[in-house]
Structure 1
Amino acid sequence: MITLPQISLMKLAAGVTRKEEFERLRLACEEYGFFYLEHGIPKEQIAEAIQTSRRFFALPQSTKERYGHSAQDVYPATARGYSPLHGEVLHPEAGPDPKEMFDLGIENEGDRRPFAGCTCLPDDALAPGFARSLLALQATVVNEVVPKLGIALAELLGMEEGWFQRYFTPPTVLQRVIRYPSTGGTAAKHTDNGFFTLLLQEELPTRSLQVWFQGRWVPVPSLPDSLVVNLGDMLQTLSDGRFMSTPHQVVHCGPTDRISLPFFIYPDIDARLTSRQGQQAFAVAEMMLRNFESIWQTGDGAGRARELR
């Protein structure tokens, strides 16, 4: 049984244990591309977000669809709002995934850049606590987790001091709530397109998340007080291939539906980035828009899905 590395965010951020934890992080990035992160996010905050999300998904289908992509005043519209079962294609051979979702981001009224603006969210009368709990969780993740981990990753990359603050103030955040039905909910094999992803999972006995490692699919169970981190294609590119953006999938069959709360973390949407050795360069907006076109328009899948057979 393969166990992913476990990293402590508190040790990584400061103190005499940082050097040892920093080396553990380097190994996790180079050998796995996935690791557990002991995070310190209040359990009650996570539990409330899961509970209110479960109540939202239990609403009538016609009600949920009032908050679909067509109701969103952002670009691309598929970056925000509700998506029903079989709405998204993460791998072309698998076709549309049997999962339903709600997407939001950092709420910034009047921002007309790609992946920015405000989400059309249901109010408390319709979905009590849904918007409030998700935005509260977002604030904790963005303010307490993202900078500490991001600064450490930038240091591992060998970037100059202040690089992370320069290119992630603010970050671009794609926050998602996913419901996987108990009867065969899936997310087909793919890689994530961004810098890194933070995943909060329900602590269920089923091991639905699977990571491709050493030629086979390895289950990744949830651990108490830990989230799962996986590196994305942007970070692999910026490391000139030294860090791993590892393929993964979700195959869920169990006694209950599964609620998943991923945060996809990207640099500022206007950033243009160059790898440490100068071998790779890309514009964040262009790479993100190309990925969304592949998922939602051409059906070619997410990240490097087309390379995965």
Structure 2
Amino acid sequence: MSISVIDIEPLVTGRAPGAVAAAIGEACRTGGFFYIAGHGVDEDLQDRLERLSREFFAQDTATKMKIRMRHGGRAWRGYFPVGGELTSGQPDRKEGLYFGAELPSDDRPLHGPNLFPSPEFRETVLAYLTALTGVGHALMRGIALSLDLGHDYFAERYTADPLILFRIFNYPPGGDEAWGVGEHTDYGLLTILKQDDNGGLQVKSQDRWIAADPIPSTFVCNIGDMLDRLTGGHYRSTPHRVIGTRDRDRLSWPFFFDPNFDADVRAVGQRVLAPHTRWDGADVHDFEGTYGDYLLAKVSKVFPQLNDQVHDR
């Protein structure tokens, strides 16, 4: 598998997107990962986000814990320290900040206001979420066209009010082959990833791991479990992992563009592909319920404390 670079400018501007949609479809069928150029996200905004992120993680733990996730309640926003998140039952070797769309207090889990370390951080993150949400809508138009559907197929059914989640992760340096995050797939429709110049992201292709090294002025995109489900397995969510760096911190900024929390996600047509063996032995096509049900079941394993808060009503 090779990871293609796709210029999505025609999707962003709405000019002759057919060839771009075909390229995205090919990438989704063959590997589930691709780079995007021509996305139009301001470089100065990205630089400011990176600077603020590095300044935040350089602080002492006590300062960072002032906005720890416990203070975010059921919205589940804020900071967690190294080892505070699990993948496949094992602690990840990373610390992070959790954000989402800035919303009023809401009884639903994963909805509500954010915890920001400073006013500048708030302004920058919210501007970045707005920009990446636009990119997410553009990509979903391309994916709809790649499936011979109307360009607004997903917007009409699932993403008019998408669930927007955003993470900033810092991987402290460690020894050779230090795990950052173990093998996993993402939960929703699309992940749009900004990463620094350290590398470390690896994508599984059959029995091999392929590096998805950073390319300047691009984002890495991958499809999640719900797009796998929607397409009846034609587009498959691909396992990936992160290897830590030896002698310096690694930062990444994954943005998740997901179906509405209350959406009942069903296949576009009849499933025609045989089930495939996943890293966790699960089958996303057997799931019954809303996207929120699926997401909470997954996230509660990553953060067991969230499970307690969700059910303690």
Deviation of 1:62 (Å): 1.1
Alpha-carbon separation, structure 2, partners of 1:158 and 1:23 = 10
Alpha-carbon separation, structure 1, partners of 2:219 and 2:102 = 23
1:163 aligns with 2:170: no
Deviation of 1:156 (Å): 2.8
1:283 aligns with 2:282: no
Deviation of 1:161 (Å): 5.5
Alpha-carbon separation, structure 1, partners of 2:18 and 2:211 = 29
After superposition, the Cα gap between the structure-2 partners of 1:51 and 1:161, relative to the gap in structure 1 and judged at 3 Å, is closer
Deviation of 1:150 (Å): 1.1
8 Å Cα contact 2:186/2:223 also seen in 1? yes
Which residue of 2 is the match for residue 82 of structure 1? Answer: 79
Deviation of 1:179 (Å): 0.3
Query: With structure 1 as the length reference, what TM-score do the two structures score?
Result: 0.86
Deviation of 1:282 (Å): 4.0
Deviation of 1:21 (Å): 2.0
Deviations 1:173-200 (A, max 9, x none): 1100000112246011101011110000
Alpha-carbon separation, structure 2, partners of 1:119 and 1:295 = 20
Higher mean C-alpha displacement, 274-283 vs 179-188: 274-283
Q: 2:245 aligns with which of 248, 253, 268?
A: 253
Which residue of 1 is the match for residue 105 of structure 2? Answer: 110
Which residue of 2 is the match for residue 51 of structure 1? Answer: 51
Which residue of 2 is the match for residue 9 of structure 1? Answer: 8
The alignment yields a C-alpha RMSD, in angstroms, of 1.9
8 Å Cα contact 2:78/2:98 also seen in 1? yes
Alpha-carbon separation, structure 1, partners of 2:105 and 2:301 = 27
1:146 aligns with 2:136: yes
Deviations 1:68-119 (A, max 9, x none): 12111334x3xx1101000111123xx1011000001001113332221101
Which structure 2 segments of 5+ residues have no match?
Answer: 272-284, 306-313
Which residue of 1 is the match for residue 124 of structure 2? Answer: 133
1:192 aligns with 2:191: no
Deviation of 1:59 (Å): 1.5
1:295 aligns with 2:290: no
Deviations 1:140-178 (A, max 9, x none): 1113x0111011212334445633222212210110000
Alpha-carbon separation, structure 2, partners of 1:154 and 1:253 = 37
Which residue of 2 is the match for residue 241 of structure 1? Answer: 233
Higher RCO, Cα 8 Å, sep 6+ = 1
8 Å Cα contact 1:270/1:283 also seen in 2? yes
Secondary structure of the equivalent of 1:277? coil
Alpha-carbon separation, structure 1, partners of 2:117 and 2:19 = 45
| Alignment coverage as a number of residue pairs | 284
Amino acid at match of 1:195: L
8 Å Cα contact 2:136/2:190 also seen in 1? no
Secondary structure of the equivalent of 2:180? strand
